[in-house]
Homo-oligomer: A and B are copies of this chain.
């Protein structure tokens, strides 16, 4: 079997078995908490590509044979999915998003279930807090030598701190968009998983330098691809509303590039369409973006970042089998359609 598909499938199985145990426990011991736990679990299982775990596995294989660390690696890959659920649950409430991974967001679903939006918000925050604790617990229980578990735990906490600081800059509309993106998305999507794979496989200092040089542009490309998909992607595939990305306050890179091409009048038209919630206005706003050439501008940046990342791998510090997997993932991240 293809090694990356194998990783994806094993993480999926791990998440499913853990979810079943957790739901059995809360169903029996804490039935009142069950709907909250069920929302958190369902969001996690709707996840999909498990790209972070694949990056972790590729980085580990670049430092030592994956098979020697696989059991713990799958655990930590699963932990990254709990971490992501934590961040999504909090972000979705903060951004007031209603759709995530093709289903209502947790604060909306729980608000409806209890007939009270405030209770929904409270339980969504708690669902995130629970996912955060599970992520930590999963890392700390991973079957690896204790020094590596400790190193992974430290990386994990650092990821978490960076994401929270990045989200703070985001909600406050900080001017420092690059810094915000690097902290918010780069850390837990690319930089963190690579550092975890390196720590798990006890890689050399030189290997970490190369993994960072690879991770920086790939983190950027991941975000830019998200931005392209958010504006012109198939919303059935992305599982999000296009309208939320069109909002200029979100500072989607495609929208920013499009705004830069507009005169004041067109910008006013665009703003009006973005504030509207009907599907026709969303389609019109998308058309304006499409005509502006902004997608092309951003696609060029993605292609450049991808080439830069792959180039960084060629320094000889990493094992060739790992380099091959990292290259594949670079293309998969830069060229994905959902």
* Contact residue among B123, B132, B140 (Cβ-Cβ distance under 8 Å from A154): B140
Evaluate contact between A133 and B160: CB separation under 8 angstroms: yes
Within 8 A of B (CB), among A111-139: 119, 122-123, 125-126, 129-130, 132-134, 136-137, 139
Residues of chain B lying within 8 A (CB to CB) of residue A130: 161, 164-165, 168
Copy tally for this chain in the complex stands at 2
Contacts A133-B160, A136-B136, A140-B157 given; does A32 touch B90 at CB 8 Å: no
Residues of chain B lying within 8 A (CB to CB) of residue A164: 126, 129-130, 133
Residues of chain B lying within 8 A (CB to CB) of residue A33: 165, 168-169, 172, 174
Instruction: Tell yes or no: A297 within 8 A of B by CB.
Output: no
List the interface of chain A (C-beta within 8 A of B).
26, 29-30, 32-33, 36, 90, 93-94, 119, 122-123, 125-126, 129-130, 132-134, 136-137, 139-141, 146-147, 149-150, 153-154, 156-158, 160-161, 164-165, 167-169, 171-172, 174, 176, 179
Evaluate contact between B168 and A154: CB separation under 8 angstroms: no
Evaluate contact between B154 and A137: CB separation under 8 angstroms: yes
Nearest-Cβ distance from residue A133 to partner chain B, whole angstroms: 4
* Contact residue among B134, B139, B158, B167 (Cβ-Cβ distance under 8 Å from A126): B167
New contact pairs (19) apart from A94-B122, A123-B171, A133-B160, CB-CB < 8 Å: A30-B168, A32-B168, A32-B176, A33-B165, A90-B125, A93-B125, A94-B126, A119-B172, A125-B125, A126-B167, A129-B160, A130-B165, A132-B160, A137-B157, A140-B153, A141-B154, A146-B149, A150-B153, A153-B153
Residues of chain B lying within 8 A (CB to CB) of residue A26: 165
Contacts A33-B172, A133-B160, A134-B161 given; does A94 touch B150 at CB 8 Å: no
Residue of B nearest to A119 (CB): B171
Residues of chain B lying within 8 A (CB to CB) of residue A165: 26, 30, 33, 130
Evaluate contact between A168 and B90: CB separation under 8 angstroms: no
Evaluate contact between A153 and B168: CB separation under 8 angstroms: no
Residues of chain B lying within 8 A (CB to CB) of residue A126: 90, 94, 164, 167-168, 171
Residue of B nearest to A149 (CB): B150
Residues of chain B lying within 8 A (CB to CB) of residue A168: 30, 32-33, 36, 123, 126, 130
